[in-house]
Structure 1
C-alpha cells in the first residue's frame, strides 16, 4: 500500500510501584491519565480504560487529542476502544474542514446532522458500521486490529 497513512492509537505508558507494592501508570502524552492496580496487569488494564475516558473527556471539551509519541524503553502501550479512536479521526476532520463540516458529512452519508452529532458525541450511541461509513465518506478506511505487544 503506497501513500497509505496509518495512525495507531497506542499510547506509551510507564509503570511504577508505590510504597504499598501497587502498580501505578503515567502517560507523558496525556498527563491527566493516572491510574493504578494491584499488579502490573491490572494497572495496564485500568490504564486502557482510563485512556478511553481521558480521550473522550478531551473530545467533550473540544481539546486536541495528540498522536501517540514513540514508545521508549521500559514503556508499555495501551489503546483506547476503537470507537473512541474513530471519533478522534472524525473530530480532527471536522476541525480541519471548518465551518459546515458536519453538514457536509451528513450530505455525504445521506443522513441528518443529528446522526453526525451522535458520531461526534464522546458518549454518543452509534454503531461501528456508522463509524466505518463516516470514515469512508471522508477518505479513511477503518482498520481495527488485534495486536499483542510485549511489555517493557
Structure 2
C-alpha cells in the first residue's frame, strides 16, 4: 500500500464511520500529516510503500481514543430530569446529584441552567473532599448534562489524585512547582489553564480528553 492509497483508505473509512479526515501538507515537501478524528500520522512520501501495520495501528489508536472519551464523558455526565412547572417552564433535578435543583423557561434554558448548577455542585464535592457518585443509566425522559470543560478537567484531576493516593506536595514535586500551584489546579473557582491540568493528569498515568458531541 502506497502513501496515497493509505490516505484514500483512511478517507473512505472516515466517511463510512462519520469521522473527520484532514490532510495537512504544510509539514514540508512530500510530507502529509493525516488526521483521522483525533488521531494522526505522518506520511513522509505518498509514493512510498507503507507497512499494513501503520493503517491497523492508526485504527486501533482511534478505538482506544474513543474508549477514553466515553470513559471521561460517562464519568462526569449525569442524567437530569425536566419536570414541567405549573407556572410554565421546567424544574431541573438530578438523581445522582440531589444538590442540583434549578429551573429554566425552555428545555434549552433548563439544560444550560443545569450545566451551570452542576459546575457549582462539582465545586462543592471537591471542596468537601467527597467522592463523585457513579452516573446512573439515563432514563428515557432524562437528559445527560456535563458542567463546563474547565470543571470536568479539574474534576478529572481531583479523581485521579484520590485514586492514586498522591498528595498535593508529591504532585507539586513531580511538576516542579510550589504546592500552592497544585492547590490552584484543584481550586474549582480558580481559572487554571487546561494544558497545565492535562500535564498534571498525565503524571498520574491518565489522559485528559475533552470531547465535542452533538447537542
TM-score range, shorter chain: 0.7 to 0.9
Residue 178 of structure 2 corresponds to: 112
- Give the TM-score taking structure 2 as reference length: 0.64
- Would you say how many aligned residue pairs link Structure 1 and Structure 2? 148
**Deviations 1:45-101 (Å, cap 9, x if unpaired)?**
100100111111111121222232221111111111122122222222333343x52
Higher relative contact order (CA 8 A, sep 6+): 1
Q: Is 1:53 aligned to residue 109 of structure 2? A: no
Residue 203 of structure 2 corresponds to: 137
CA RMSD of aligned residues (A): 1.8
More helix as a share of residues: 2
Residue 32 of structure 1 corresponds to: 99
Helix, strand or coil for the counterpart of 1:144?
Answer: coil
- Give the TM-score taking structure 1 as reference length: 0.88
Helix, strand or coil for the counterpart of 1:7?
Answer: helix
Structure 1 alignment gaps of length 5 or more? none
Residue 7 of structure 1 corresponds to: 72
Structure 2 alignment gaps of length 5 or more? 1-62
TM-superposed CA distance for 1:135, in Å, is: 1.0
* 1:73-88 alignment runs, 5 A limit: 73-88=140-155
* 1:118-129 alignment runs, 5 A limit: 118-129=184-195
